[in-house]
Amino acid sequence: MLEIRKCVVIVLLLCVNSIKCEIDDGSKQGQLVFAHVIYRHGDRTPVDPYPNDPYKDRKYWEEGYGQLTNVGKEQHYQLGQFFRKRYRKLLENGNYLRDFIYVQSTDVDRTLMSAESNLAGLFPPEGNQIWDNQIKWQPVPIHTIPEQLDGVLASKRPCARYTMAAKKYQKSQEFQDLLNKYKSLFQYLEQNSGTSIKTLDDAQYLYNTLWIENLKNYTLPEWTKKIFPGGDLQWVADRSFQVQTNTPELARLKSGFLLREMLDRFDQKIASKLNPDRGVWVYSAHDTTVANILNSLQLFEPPRSPPYTATVLFELYKKGDSYYIEIFYKNSTNENLSPLNMPTCGVRCSIRDFRRIYETVIPTESFEKECEVSLLSLTYEEVEYRGLDGSWLALTLLLLVVLAIVLMAWKMFQQERNMRWYHRI
């Protein structure tokens, strides 16, 4: 009898726990009020075939190099349909209105075209939005700026502090050990591909080209069988996506401005100051964008090359008078999403706690202030990381001193000559 009672108690506890787990299941708790979406473009052709590539001729890539394919268009059309279901209530039941959504893309053909394909699936015209019965599509604005001016999404705007921090990290013992570990692999790749392979990024670019050609069912050269698919080359390619944001300073200057922009917009939404009061903000970008944002938030484990249409969803929920964030990662196949576990916060996090947890990677100053480097404030070590050496610095300072002395002497000479001229008068 005692054993039966114990069993009943255990069953009841399991039931209670299962109910509690269901209640605590992230997005079931509150009302979704706003979402930021960051996705990678769809299937594309190789950006830059390697010198010994048997398929480097343009005849193999009718779309051109680095361009979205028909498969990529279809992938994003389907992703747009997924967004239509998930965010229908935030988008006035699926009708396009400019006050409910904003779409921003990097200034690259494949990301702009991906956004267009995505919006075709997201907003098929209905009712009075049908402008041609033969065309089930309607134009939706996509915003962009030149990459060299974009320090938020494309992250290509020059940033001296980031350049210096990247050189510092690449000279670290940890990074040098990693390069030395795969030195023989890099040499093998160089000898057979005809291109320089010195870094993890170099290896990743080559791997990506081989992967695309294999995906197109092209027969790869015999030498690739030793290193593709899988093995060390894939491992290196996957981990190359950590390099750009693998320290707090790198993360702050590469992904921090995008993070801050989204958080500030969440704050505006909560304070009813978002104008227009949109429900969804979309960013069309690249695999590096997706990987960098996840790695900056310590959510990129294990590191994997983000597949085509990989998407990070930052969603804002309201429960009573409280608001919290949940983050989801959608790869190319998973439809049922689970919120990611944020460090010390779990699957949901208030804006204040989120800012506290990630304060080292969220900028507090303007882009210009965060990125500036004052030569006089640099340590000797930082001068070296900036690509200078001590002798260069000493010579520069000496020249500045000499110049200052010459200017002072010239000024005194001018003053004395003027005085003599005055006395003659």
User: pLDDT digit string (tens) for 245-257?
Assistant: 999 999 999 999 9
CA distance 78 to 86: 13
Instruction: Give the strand pairing for 101-105 and 280-285.
Output: parallel
Peptide bond into 363 cis (omega under 30): no
Per DSSP, the residues of 25-83 read: SGGGSSEEEEEEEEEE---B--SS--TT-TT-SGGG-TT-TT-B-HHHHHHHHHHHHHH
pLDDT for residue 311 is more than 70: yes
> Which residue among 109, 201, 267, 287 is the active-site one?
287
Residue-wise pLDDT for 331-384, tens only, equals 876 678 999 999 999 999 999 999 999 999 999 999 999 999 976 545 545 555
* pTM attached to this predicted model: 0.84
Residue position matching structure tokens 């597949």: 307
The pLDDT tens digits for 17-53 are 443 333 334 445 699 999 999 999 999 999 999 999 9
Whether residue 1 has pLDDT greater than 90: no
Is the sign of the CA dihedral 158, 364, 296, 87 positive or negative? negative
Please indicate whether residue 143 is annotated as part of the active site.
no
Question: Beta strand pairing status for 31-40 and 280-285?
Answer: parallel
- How many Å apart are CA 356 and CA 202, to the nearest integer? 36
User: Which residue among the candidates 36, 41, 76, 286 is catalytic per the annotation?
Assistant: 41
Integer Cα distance of 239 and 310 in angstroms: 17
Helices 256-270 and 287-296 cross at an angle (nearest 10°) of 70
Per-position DSSP letters for 363-424, written without gaps between them: --S-HHHHH---GGG--HHHHHHTT--HHHHHHHHHHHHHHHHHHHHHHHHHHHHHHHHHHH
Asked whether 292 and 245 are in contact (CB, 8 A), the reply is: yes
With bands split at pLDDT 50, 70 and 90, how would you rate the model's confidence at 75?
very high
The answer to whether the beta carbons of residues 335 and 82 sit under 8 Å apart is yes
d(CA 395, CA 401): 10
Q: How far is CA 41 from the centre of its chain?
A: 12
Helix runs in 244-389, H state only: 248-254, 256-270, 287-296, 351-357, 367-371, 380-385
Q: What is the DSSP letter of 136?
A: -
Alpha-carbon distance 267 to 358, whole Å? 16
267 is a catalytic site residue: no
Would the pLDDT of 407 be above 70? yes
User: What is the Cα Rg of the chain in Å?
Assistant: 28
